[in-house]
């Protein structure tokens, strides 16, 4: 009788999608979440966090360039005046299909570089201005 009561149910799961995310920087920088078009999730190799790449759109307004410049000035101030490490942090929120956070990472940077892109008359009017950033994390942690 107990064998009859046991029903097997299919395993139900929803895989995470690579296009369901929000990246958030401190509000004082004014970097919009929608401006981040591509990024690396944390990588850990040989007991060290690996460099992470981010790509931003740079619209006419609100300007991502200005937001990243505010980040640069703030990071310089933290590094020079108080020696604070990390110099800035940001969050990656992975979302389910309904927009609910299913995973949240905190990335703390100890160093970074920013490439503000290029200009080129030969590219025509269709190519978008993009900014690339490389972050050297001091640590990364899953907080949700």
Q: Please tell me the pTM assigned to this model.
A: 0.84
Distance CA 66, CA 49 (A): 28
The token pair that represents 31 in the structure block: 């970097």
Architecture field, domain 15-142 = Roll (2.30)
Return the number of other C-beta atoms located less than 10 Å from residue 107's C-beta.
24
Return the number of other C-beta atoms located less than 10 Å from residue 69's C-beta.
15
By CB neighbour count within 10 A (0-12 exposed, 13-18 middle, 19+ buried), where does 90 fall?
A: buried
- The mean-pLDDT minimum among 5-9, 40-44, 63-67, 119-123 falls in 5-9
pLDDT of residue 76: 86
Distance CA 91, CA 106 (A): 5
């Amino acid at each position: 009788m107990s064998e009859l009561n046991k029903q097997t149910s299919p395993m139900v799961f929803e895989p995470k999608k690579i296009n369901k995310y929000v990246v958030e920087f401190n509000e004082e920088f004014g970097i919009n979440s929608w401006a981040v078009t591509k990024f690396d999730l944390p990588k850990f190799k040989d007991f060290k966090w690996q460099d992470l790449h981010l790509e931003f759109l740079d619209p006419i307004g609100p300007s991502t360039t200005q937001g990243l410049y505010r980040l640069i000035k703030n990071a310089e101030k933290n590094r020079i005046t108080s020696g604070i490490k990390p110099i800035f942090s940001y969050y990656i929120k992975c979302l389910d299909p309904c927009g609910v956070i299913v995973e949240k990472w905190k990335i703390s940077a100890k160093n970074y570089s920013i490439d503000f892109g290029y200009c080129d008359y030969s590219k025509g009017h269709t190519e978008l201005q993009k900014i690339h950033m490389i972050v050297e994390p001091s640590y990364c942690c899953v907080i949700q």
